Structure 1
Amino acid sequence: MRCTYTGVPGLSSNPGATPEVAVVVDVMRAFTVAAWAFSRGAERIVFAETLDEALELKARHPGWLAFQDGPVVPGFDLANSPAQLRSLDVAGRTVVQKTTAGTTGALAVAGARLLLCASFVVAGATAAVLRRERPSAVTFVVTGDGGRAEEDLACAEYIAGLVSDGPVAPGPFVERARNSGGAARLAEGLRLGWEGVHPEDVPLCLETDTFPFAMAAGREGGHLVLRPVDAG
């Protein structure tokens, strides 16, 4: 399996080349939150392109929840914190998610035949789906820091190793994420008292192979929708 690692800017520079198979990685925190939402019974996650679109979708569909990243925004139910998600009832519900990195990366490769969204908590299951599909090439989209986020690259390389080499020790990859700029920014947010950051967010984002499902996105009713898929 030939692996390519790129950021959203790299995709934008070649708009006519949508990858056949793409794995979009956002460890801190969008796709860790998404995985936790599915583990707690959420039915699906609809990716919004803007904050306004997310709130409009929530307003049109009573019972839907809306998640965003960054500082808490009025009208949203969660500021992208996997730890704070545990206090929400998401069972059977649709979540609308808008983040700067993860959902933007997924929307950038929405035309892929197979589009998986990943973080460490679903890394093993994501690798299992890729082994089952046996693609000749996979594009890993590193969403954070303009394609330079060490935590996302480490997760992508861990998944690629699991596909190509079989059992791979997660420790070195997790340690790279632990020492990443993304983890440092969340720690700084805690120090500054940001409302949308929880002390357990980074530890939850660094858990590996927590859930037995992968997450695949596809077009439904004009929106890009994420759902859990059996890793087999």
Structure 2
Amino acid sequence: MDTRFLGIADLVETPSVAVVVDVMRAFTVAAWAFAQGAEKIVLAESLDEALALKARHPDWAAIKDGPPAPGFDAVNSPGLLRSVDLGGRTVVQKTTAGTVGALAVREAQLVLCASFVVAEATARHLQARGSDGVTFVVTGEDGQADEDLACAEYIARRVTGAGTDAADYLRRAARSRAADELTQGVRQGVHPDDVALCLELDRFPFAMVAALEDSLMVLRPCAVPSPAEDPSA
């Protein structure tokens, strides 16, 4: 499988298959939202769009980076979101990097949003797809965020080699600038457990697929077969 690892600004053409990685914290939060019962997640272009969608759909839940703000129901923190009941609701999410990366590849044939908590499911989805080429969009720090790059590289290795050890990749993420900023309280809207939750490998059994639906980029969970259920395994 031919793999490329690009920052958002490096996307000069639309890839056929894109895996958009944001470990700390957009797509860890998205996975937790689905675990808490969310039906789908609408990835918003801006805070204003998120608020406008919320205004049109008062039953939707809106999530943003940073501290709590009027009009938003939650912040982009897995530690805080894990106690929120989202049963059957639509979530609107706007973050600094993750949602921007997904929207940048909205025209791709397949868009997966990923983090360590859904790494194995993401790799199995790519295996089932059988794509020759995959572009991993490293969303943080202009494509240099080591937690995102480590996760992207790990998923790429998992697609082609079942015996890949995650330990070194997780250590890189734990030592990343984002992990340090979350731990030191540099970022707002943070729970003390956020870094640990972002480093939980394969916490959830689903991949997350984003696609255009009526002009909105919508993220949904996608079940993948376990190795025992996969006849090719």
What is the TM-score when the length of structure 1 is the normalising length?
0.95
Q: Look up the match of 1:3.
A: 3
Q: Look up the match of 2:16.
A: 20
Q: Partners in 2 of 1:90 and 1:39 — Cα distance?
A: 9
The answer to whether 1:106 aligns with 2:102 is yes
How far 1:72 moved relative to its partner? 2.5
Which ranges of structure 2 fall in alignment gaps of 5 or more residues?
226-233
Q: Look up the match of 1:97.
A: 93
SS of match in other structure, 1:156: helix
Kept in 2: contact 1:30–1:102 (CA 8 A): yes
Residue type of the partner of 2:49? E
Q: Look up the match of 2:224.
A: 231
Q: Partners in 1 of 2:222 and 2:160 — Cα distance?
A: 21
For 2:184, which of 179, 184, 188 is the aligned residue?
Answer: 188
Q: Partners in 1 of 2:208 and 2:54 — Cα distance?
A: 22
Residue type of the partner of 1:41? G
Kept in 1: contact 2:38–2:86 (CA 8 A): yes
For 1:49, which of 15, 40, 45 is the aligned residue?
Answer: 45
> Residues 141-180 of structure 1: matches in 2 within 5 Å?
141-180=137-176
Residue type of the partner of 2:8? V
How far 1:187 moved relative to its partner? 1.3
Residue type of the partner of 1:30? A
How many residues in Structure 1 have an aligned counterpart in Structure 2? 225
For 2:32, which of 20, 36, 48 is the aligned residue?
Answer: 36
Q: Look up the match of 1:216.
A: 209
Q: Look up the match of 1:201.
A: 194
The answer to which of 209-218 and 70-79 deviates more is 70-79
Residue type of the partner of 1:217? A
Coordinate RMSD, CA, aligned: 1.0
Residue type of the partner of 2:191? H
Which ranges of structure 1 fall in alignment gaps of 5 or more residues?
none
> Residues 110-125 of structure 1: matches in 2 within 5 Å?
110-125=106-121
Residue type of the partner of 1:88? V
1:66-122 residue CA offsets vs partner (Å, 9 max, x unmatched): 001123322211110001002211010000000010000000000010100000000
How far 1:35 moved relative to its partner? 0.3
SS of match in other structure, 1:23: strand
1:176-195 residue CA offsets vs partner (Å, 9 max, x unmatched): 00000010111121xx6x65
Q: Partners in 2 of 1:83 and 1:90 — Cα distance?
A: 15
SS of match in other structure, 1:117: strand
Q: Partners in 2 of 1:185 and 1:72 — Cα distance?
A: 18
Residue type of the partner of 1:207? E
Kept in 2: contact 1:78–1:196 (CA 8 A): no
